[in-house]
């Protein structure tokens, strides 16, 4: 049987690396000056980390274990977390009042929009990110996109959870 090349998350690992252009498309909308940023699931090869460095932001990366980071030293998390741990990751950050701008699957974004997850904070939906590099250099299509707990400076992003007007 031929294996589908898309939407086969369950048979794959967490190694999907974000494209630089998908980082620019979302992050250029935020004014991140004066923010201490941690990328907890990124090493120095990550395009998220590279973009933030290229912009001279105050950023550190640490792909060892996101659970062991002292988040009190930072103002903001920006990353593409492992898909297999994403809900735990989000709930943990919310429990310590840590703001984030992260990439998640469209399935999760849809669930948030439909009120199925109820994270209990305001969550914004940003740009889509639909292609990722695999460790062998190939490109895999997966329907994902950015979400955040802070508004982008241009106020383009829409609220998908916690809208006061709902
Ligand atoms: C979806 S990939 C994104 C990688 C990279 N940040 C990027 O966007 O190019 C998630 C990464 O988290 C790493 N990871 C898995 N478990 C982790 C953990 N407990 N703590 C930190 N990083 C983890 C994986 O090895 C993987 O490289």
Tell me the per-residue pLDDT of 26-63, one tens digit each, with 9 for 90 and over. Answer: 999 999 999 999 999 999 999 999 999 999 999 999 98
Residue 12 has pLDDT above 80, yes or no: no
Beta-carbon contacts of 134 under 8 Å, excluding residues fewer than 6 positions away, are 15, 16, 17, 140
The alpha carbon of 84 and the centre of ligand 1 are apart by a number of angstroms equal to 10
Closest-lying ligand 1 atom to the alpha carbon of residue 45:
9
Q: How far is the CA of 78 from the centre of ligand 1 (A)?
A: 12
Probe residue for ligand 1, chosen from 9, 13, 14 as the CB with the greatest number of ligand atoms within 8 Å = 14
Closest atom of ligand 1 relative to the 62 alpha carbon: 21
Residue the block writes with tokens 């329907």: 143
- Report which protein residue has its CA nearest ligand 1's atom 6: 42
Dihedral angle of Cα 160, 94, 165, 126, to the nearest 10 degrees: -30
CA 66 to ligand 1: nearest atom: 20
Q: What ranges do the domains of the chain cover?
A: 15-160
| Cα angle for residues 102, 107, 112 (degrees, 5° grid) | 70
Ligand 1 centroid from CA 111, angstroms: 22
Question: Which pLDDT does position 164 carry in this prediction?
Answer: 64
Residue 165 pLDDT exceeds 90: no
Distance from first CA to last CA of the chain, Å, rounded?
46
Atom of ligand 1 nearest to the CA of 133: 9
How many angstroms separate the CA atoms of 159 and 79, rounded? 20
Do 94 and 120 contact (CB within 8 A), yes or no? yes
In the block, tokens 């369950």 appear at: 10
Residue 2 has pLDDT above 60, yes or no: no
User: Looking at residues 105-126, what average pLDDT do you find?
Assistant: 96
% of the chain surpassing 70 pLDDT: 91
Length of the chain: 166
Give the distance from CA 40 to its chain's centroid.
11
Q: 6 pLDDT band (50/70/90 cuts)?
A: very low
Nearest residue by C-alpha to atom 7 in ligand 1: 17
Mean pLDDT of 134-150: 97
To the nearest whole number, what is the mean pLDDT of the chain? 92
Q: Domain 15-160 falls in which CATH fold?
A: Rossmann fold (3.40.50)
CA distances from residue 120 to 102, 153, 163 in whole angstroms, order as listed: 17, 22, 11
- Rounded to an integer, the average pLDDT of 15-30 is 97
Q: What's the pLDDT tens digit per position in 79-104?
A: 999 999 999 999 999 999 999 999 99
Cβ pair 103, 144 in contact under 8 A: yes
Q: Which residues line ligand 1 (CB under 6 A)?
A: 14-18, 40-42, 46-48, 63, 65-66, 79-82
Rounded to the nearest 5 percent, the helix, strand and coil shares of the chain are 30, 30, 45
């Amino acid at each position: 049987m031929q294996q589908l090349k898309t939407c086969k998350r369950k048979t794959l690992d967490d190694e999907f690396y974000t494209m630089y252009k998908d980082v620019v498309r979302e992050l250029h909308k935020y004014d991140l000056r004066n923010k201490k940023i941690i990328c907890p699931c990124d090493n120095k090869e990550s395009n998220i980390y590279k973009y933030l460095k290229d912009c001279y932001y105050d950023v550190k990366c640490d792909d060892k274990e996101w659970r062991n980071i002292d988040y009190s030293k930072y103002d903001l998390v920006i990353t593409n977390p492992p898909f297999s741990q994403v809900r735990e990751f989000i709930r943990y950050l919310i429990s310590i009042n840590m703001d984030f701008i992260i990439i998640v699957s469209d399935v999760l974004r849809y669930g948030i929009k439909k009120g199925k997850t109820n994270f209990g904070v305001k969550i914004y939906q940003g740009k889509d990110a639909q292609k990722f590099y695999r460790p062998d250099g190939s490109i895999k299509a997966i329907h994902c996109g950015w979400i955040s707990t802070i508004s982008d400076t241009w106020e383009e992003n829409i609220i998908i959870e916690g809208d006061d007007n709902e």
